[in-house]
Structure 1
């Protein structure tokens, strides 16, 4: 009989734990030796990309979800891993808030699948979506370690999308030091503060030698459905394009500010699923094609 999910929830009630996700000891990975850990690939995954923003509130998780769904629509076996420990969004975005993963006989988490995409998130393992995780740094890093290496992606994936938490701190550095990343997509809005933070995020990836696949500009223009006029709510796009030019980075896509994007996401049916023929979905598909090409996947 497979281990019950209750074993996964026990660890959320404490502040210090050698095994924060509560996985059985059999099949768990060994502790790291002194010094930096050795980068290693994620089992059963060909390519791994990170979707990142150094600033919260720019729509990073929505972009990551729609990107993974677009990659799946292109015929790639796709997964998404939610590494945002404090604010996991993938359960809501994929309408899986009431579901919990089970374990394999070797004590690995079995992903939950929705809309053709395999998903895993710490949000599946907490008692409720409103429960706060009061975890210290070491426990967070151990949880990330288990999420990266204790998930049974099956069948093997062509590409795994990592939804990173905002910022450039311990979790981001831990991920980039532990696994082989094939590239990163940086999400920003046109607002000057978001652009400044996006540059910081790009600096982080440069320092850890992760290729930057490009930028996605989110919430760029609002097109009024009544007068059909366009308004740059968060400022013009000149700042993003200037950063791309200075850094030699491609602007992968320009996602407009549209109420349906947020409403569809809150209902657990992201744009690519809810409105696959819309102009907005076509932007996500174009971003997915560019990402697949940059990491060497044929679509």
Structure 2
């Protein structure tokens, strides 16, 4: 069996299990209840403002703000047990006995969880776009597509991080604690970022680079980059420059790379009993 075939075999098996996760579907239901009604109310309350972007464009610009925190809850619910549950139950040994390697297991899990996340987040974004169309009579197509695309990419990056860290632990709860703890440590609205990390970065960087401080936080990237993309494709405006935007994208990509790298290293050296 080729390596790609082994990846797909693991992914198919894992996808069937992930789709049965009550926690994931519960998190998705919670996301729906917290976001959709309030987003619909916001869309209806927008009015024309002189020298401002059209209401439909401003509504698209609000998507990232409505999803920023709740999206991570969905990612964590989907990915925290991806590999850790297999290690905890011992079923990972069965996978490895069927010609799959530890790398195959991790890659297959990444494919399955990433594919499921793309499907549900894409459906949610389509619904939000539909609400804008109904409420405002039109949707700025280019702006909506790039913002929605960025939301999916951002969610996939955090999913890769979470699946990677899941592989590092033989306990689901330790994996969840590590994933949630990392996010809380970096979260833009948490005390650690506001009281410690942000002041330290501002003190360490020259004044010419102060605009890069928000860009260094991957939890801020969803809105930071999203607003710039919307401004680049519609009448909206953004104060961010291309330099900070590229740094912000890089911070999220770094998260997506570090999670699987660290997880695979620890998984590769783990004694699976």
Q: What TM-score does the superposition give when structure 1 sets the normalisation length?
A: 0.27
Q: What TM-score does the superposition give when structure 2 sets the normalisation length?
A: 0.29
Q: Which structure dedicates a bigger proportion of its chain to strand? A: 1
Larger Rg: 2
